[in-house]
Amino acid sequence: MSSIGIVTPQTMHFAQALLLQSGATLHDYMLMFETYGTLNAAKSNAVLVCHALNASHHVAGVYADQPKNVGWWDNMVGPGKPLDTDKFFVIGVNNLGSCFGSTGPMHHNPATGKPYGAAFPVVTVEDWVVAQARLADALGIVQFAAVMGGSLGGMQALAWSIMFPERLRHCVVIASTAKLSAQNIAFNDVARQAILSDPDYRGGDFYAHGVVPKNGLRVARMVGHITYLSNDDMAEKFGRKLRDAAQTGDYKFGFGIDFEIESYLRYQGDKFSEYFDANTYLLITKALDYFDPARAHGGDLAAALAQTRAKFFLASFSTDWRFSPERSREIVQALVSNRRQVTYAEIDAPHGHDAFLLEDARYMNMVRAYYEQVWEESAALPHQTISAQQGSKEYA
Residues labelled catalytic: 151, 320, 353
Neighbours of 103 (CB within 10 A): 26
Count Cβ neighbours within 10 Å for each residue of 133-149 and write b for 16 or more, e otherwise. Answer: bbbbbebebbbbbbbbb
Inter-CA distances, 48 with 44, 90, 241, 357, 389, Å: 12, 6, 42, 17, 20
Question: Does residue 330 belong to the site contacting a copy of itself (CB under 8 A)?
Answer: no
Q: Reduce the secondary structure of 62-130 to three states and give it as a string.
A: EECCECCCCCCCCCCEECCCCEECCCCEEEEECCCCCCCCCCCCCCECCCCCCECHHHCCCCCHHHHHH
How far apart are alpha carbons 338 and 333 in whole angstroms? 9
Question: Does residue 7 belong to the site contacting a copy of itself (CB under 8 A)?
Answer: no
Question: Does residue 360 belong to the site contacting a copy of itself (CB under 8 A)?
Answer: no
Binder among 67, 80, 110, 239 for a copy of itself (CB under 8 A): 239
Residue 87 phi/psi, 5-degree rounding, is: -110, -45
Least distance CB 158 / a copy of itself (angstroms): 17
Determine if residue 74 is labeled as part of a ligand binding site. Answer: no
Question: Does residue 284 belong to the site contacting a copy of itself (CB under 8 A)?
Answer: no
- Tell which positions 32-91 bind a copy of itself, by CB under 8 A: none
Neighbours of 338 (CB within 10 A): 16
Binder among 30, 106, 190, 336 for a copy of itself (CB under 8 A): 190
Question: Does residue 146 belong to the site contacting a copy of itself (CB under 8 A)?
Answer: no
Determine if residue 354 is labeled as part of a ligand binding site. Answer: yes
Question: Does residue 187 belong to the site contacting a copy of itself (CB under 8 A)?
Answer: yes
Residue 62 or 222: the one with the smaller Cβ distance to a copy of itself is 222
Question: Does residue 287 belong to the site contacting a copy of itself (CB under 8 A)?
Answer: no
Residue 255 or 380: the one with the smaller Cβ distance to a copy of itself is 255
Residue 234 or 381: the one with the smaller Cβ distance to a copy of itself is 234
Site size for a copy of itself (CB under 8 A): 55
Residue 262 or 360: the one with the smaller Cβ distance to a copy of itself is 262
Please, which contacts does 72-79 make with residues 24 or more away whose CB atoms are closer than 8 Å?
72/357, 73/49, 73/150, 73/357, 74/2, 74/3, 74/4, 75/357, 75/358, 75/359, 75/364, 76/364, 76/367, 77/4, 77/36, 77/49, 78/2, 78/3, 78/4, 78/36, 79/3, 79/4
Question: Does residue 282 belong to the site contacting a copy of itself (CB under 8 A)?
Answer: yes
Question: Does residue 254 belong to the site contacting a copy of itself (CB under 8 A)?
Answer: yes
- Tell which positions 91-130 bind a copy of itself, by CB under 8 A: 118, 121-122
Binder among 107, 266, 368, 393 for a copy of itself (CB under 8 A): 266
Question: Does residue 21 belong to the site contacting a copy of itself (CB under 8 A)?
Answer: yes
* Strand 18-19, strand 25-26: pairing: antiparallel
Binder among 182, 246, 361, 380 for a copy of itself (CB under 8 A): 182
Residue 157 or 219: the one with the smaller Cβ distance to a copy of itself is 219
How far apart are alpha carbons 187 and 163 in whole angstroms? 28
Using the rule CB under 8 A, give the single segment among 34-42, 85-93, 191-199, 342-350 that binds a copy of itself: 191-199
Residues 240/246/249/250 CA torsion (nearest 10 deg): -70
Using the rule CB under 8 A, give the single segment among 45-53, 62-70, 156-164, 216-224 that binds a copy of itself: 216-224
Burial class (CB in 10 A: 0-12, 13-18, 19+), 124: buried
Closest CA to 63 of 22, 101, 114, 117: 101
Least distance CB 284 / a copy of itself (angstroms): 12
Q: Which amino acid, residue 360?
A: D
Using the rule CB under 8 A, give the single segment among 21-29, 102-110, 169-177, 387-395 that binds a copy of itself: 21-29
- Residues annotated within the binding site for substrate are 221, 354
Residue numbers at the binding site for a copy of itself (CB under 8 A): 21-24, 118, 121-122, 179-183, 185-187, 189-190, 192-194, 196-199, 215, 218-219, 222-223, 226, 229, 231, 234-235, 237-240, 251, 253-255, 258-259, 261-262, 265-266, 269, 282, 286, 289-290, 292, 295
